[in-house]
């Protein structure tokens, strides 16, 4: 009978479709709970830092994306998304061997141990000049891939870091869900094609 | 509804410059458009949603390109949201669009009209509106295939 292979195929597709829907439901629940956790942590950070300290006003004027998504067409015709993350380059803040790059009037850490001042003052001033030149250069060149956490300050509360971690996981999950959605729609199209074929065979058999 | 269309653009909305030049992001070393490509994630959401996702590292904003995110506030017009959504669809470097479901409801007609697999549209909850699977375009499309005729 011509109907049997088509029916078997349809049944397999339906089971695959149901499995995909179930997996999508699980990932969705995980995504929603992670997003809520992220918002909760952002709200906690806002409570400790102040309303205006954690808002869209803090976004940098130039932002480089740290996540790329590789999209590829699979054999079945659906799109697969995979996240790739580039680690942010931390600015080099090497502690200098000198003390004098921060003036006594400004706040800052100072070395408490006494250095032989007569011998090292000349060296220190020359080092200071070089370091100030370097720091000026680093300020002028835009810092690529800066951690977005630094928009909100140098010392941010733990809650903001937790929010960032939650949203990073959300982003990875989003790529998986987008892949699943594409697969679900592709399975649906295949099922519709199979269904039409089945109706054709049925009409041929009846006719 | 606090999101009624006033026919004016909101000064609060963060949007980029008017250039139409689209370049691939700097993290891309090579791009093959046929088999695979490297794309960005865009987000259309309220302030906390955008803050969270930008913290996660998906944001892109510079002088040459339009940003890949839109912060929707109380006085953001529906026209602006729809135009931004359509501009994201037209960009070849955006693969996934994340959108709060309550914002997706405002431009449901535009989302339902989008039938291509790229960019993928993902509806996410917001603080005041939890996720409702019955409103999701993708799930409605998947559910809609089951009709009485299919079970003959």
CA distance A87 to chain B (A): 10
pTM over 0.90: no
User: Is the link from the previous residue into A114 a cis peptide, with omega within 30 of 0?
Assistant: no
Phi, psi (5° rounding) for residue B67? -70, 160
The parts of chain B modelled with pLDDT lower than 70 are 1-36, 145-152
pLDDT in tens, A111-132: 666 655 544 454 444 444 444 4
B39, A65: Cβ pair inside 8 Å? no
Q: Looking at beta carbons, which residues of chain B come within 8 Å of A88?
A: 57
Nearest Cα to B28, choosing from B94, B118, B115?
A: B94
Find the mean pLDDT for residues A191-200. 87
Neighbours of A25 (CB within 10 A): 12
User: Which of B57, B93, B127, B130 to mutate: most A Cβ within 10 Å?
Assistant: B57
Torsion of CA A48, A53, A54, A56, to 10 degrees: 170
Question: Are the C-beta atoms of A136 and A30 separated by less than 8 Å?
Answer: no
Instruction: With cut-offs at 50, 70 and 90, classify the pLDDT of residue A77.
Output: confident
How is residue A94 written in tokens?
A: 């090497």
| Nearest-CA distance B109 → chain A (Å) | 19
Task: Name the residue facing B59 among A65, A160, A163 (closest C-beta).
Answer: A65
Average pLDDT, chain A: 78
In this prediction, residue B19 carries a pLDDT of 39
Q: What pLDDT score was predicted for residue A108?
A: 57
**What is the distance in angstroms between the Cα of A29 and the nearest Cα belonging to chain B?**
9
The residues near B71 (Cβ < 8 Å, ≥ 6 apart) are A56, B12, B13, B14, B45, B46, B47, B50
The band of A88, judged by pLDDT with boundaries at 50, 70 and 90, is low
For residue B54, count CB atoms less than 10 angstroms from its CB and return exposed for 0-12, middle for 13-18, buried for 19 or more. buried
> What does the pLDDT read at residue B148?
53
The pLDDT of residue B102: 94
């Amino acid at each position: 009978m011509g109907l049997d292979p088509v029916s078997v195929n349809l049944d397999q597709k339906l089971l695959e479709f149901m499995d995909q829907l179930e997996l999508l439901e699980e990932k969705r629940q995980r995504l929603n709970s992670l997003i809520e956790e992220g918002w909760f942590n952002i709200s906690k950070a806002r409570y400790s830092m102040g309303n205006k300290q954690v808002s869209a006003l803090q976004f940098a004027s130039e932002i480089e994306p740290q996540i790329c998504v590789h999209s590829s067409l699979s054999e079945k015709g659906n799109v697969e998304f995979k996240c790739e993350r580039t680690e942010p380059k931390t600015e080099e803040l090497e502690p200098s061997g000198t003390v004098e790059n921060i003036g006594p009037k400004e706040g800052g850490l100072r070395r408490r141990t006494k250095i032989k001042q007569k011998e090292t003052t000349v060296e220190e001033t020359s080092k200071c000049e070089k370091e100030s030149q370097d720091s000026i250069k680093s300020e002028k060149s835009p810092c690529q891939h800066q951690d977005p956490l630094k928009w909100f300050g140098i010392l941010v509360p733990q809650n903001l870091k937790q929010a960032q971690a939650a949203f990073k996981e959300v982003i990875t999950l989003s790529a998986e869900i987008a892949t699943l959605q594409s697969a679900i729609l592709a399975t649906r199209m295949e099922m519709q094609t199979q269904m039409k074929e089945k109706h054709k065979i049925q009409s041929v058999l009846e006719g | 509804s606090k999101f009624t269309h006033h026919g004016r653009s909101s000064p609060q909305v963060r949007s980029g410059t008017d250039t139409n030049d689209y370049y691939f992001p700097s993290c891309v070393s090579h791009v093959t458009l046929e088999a695979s490509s490297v794309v960005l994630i865009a987000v259309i959401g309220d302030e906390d949603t955008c803050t969270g996702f930008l913290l996660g590292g998906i944001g892109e904003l510079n002088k040459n390109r339009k940003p890949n995110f839109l912060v929707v506030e109380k006085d953001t017009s529906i026209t602006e949201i729809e135009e931004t959504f359509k501009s994201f669809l037209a960009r070849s470097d955006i693969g996934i669009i994340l959108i709060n479901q309550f914002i997706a409801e405002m431009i449901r007609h535009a989302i339902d009209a989008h039938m291509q697999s790229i960019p993928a549209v993902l509806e996410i909850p917001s603080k005041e509106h939890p996720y409702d699977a019955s409103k999701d375009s993708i799930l409605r499309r998947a559910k809609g295939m089951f009709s009485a005729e299919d079970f003959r």
